[in-house]
Amino acid sequence: MSLYYIRFGFDGTAFHGYQTQDNELNLRTAQQELEEKLSILFREKIVITGASRTDTGVHIVESFAHFKTEQPLPEHAVRRINFMLPSDIGVSRLGLAPEGFHSRFDAIQRHYIYHIHYDKDPFLHNRSLHFPYRHLDLDKMNEAAAYLKEQTDFATFCKRNSDNKTTRCRIDYIQWSQRTANRIQFEVHADRFLRGMIRGLVGTMIKVGNGKTSFEQFKEIVASHDNKNADFSVPGCGLYLTRVIYPEALEKALLA
């Protein structure tokens, strides 16, 4: 039995997230697309395990998954699977993985970016949150972000019915920045994220940036550990998983 890995990305607009849905609605997911085409490529049923889950509409620039099969790696595997995959998903690497590799549990950090634009732009439709109101105060939002970096329990920003055994996370980097006169972005790196966490952080900090929530009120929201106090309403279209980080030696093996 051989262990393989893939590195992939997709435009999340038409996907109901990464993970296959356990229901009868047959919702389209990235995992479903990848497993279907890998099964054709290897001529047996393939089930993959991904590094991260994503919600409907969320985009992935780079993520990894692993799977096992007794079949050898087909010649020109990347080119062949990309020929089979639809245009909104692609594989950049497919090969033998280091022994014992687990795409989810071996990851030590994940990077996400959330994009917001003020002026209507059809080229940013489904790529960024259109916020057609007065500009947000990034200084206030970065004050809130700095406070979040000091925290370890993010229960306030975890959606209900999540299967997390703990709500503790370690944020290594968190920052709001001005990209252009029309665009801002939120970037956060952490060892792990809870279900809905980033959208909860973004939605709640927007209220700080537009003056609806004071910094002191924001701290009370965080301390409440009650997700009814967070705002999860921002859409997935502005959110991108940009990178999954592994220990240096493992990363070199995967990207060799």
The catalytic residue among 55, 119, 172, 191 is 55
- 55 among known catalytic residues: yes
Evaluate whether 51 touches 191 at the Cβ level (below 8 Å).
no
CA–CA distances in Å: residue 238 to residues 105, 122, 178, 183, 209: 26, 14, 15, 11, 17
CA–CA distances in Å: residue 28 to residues 10, 36, 52, 84, 104: 13, 12, 17, 16, 22
Active site residues: 55
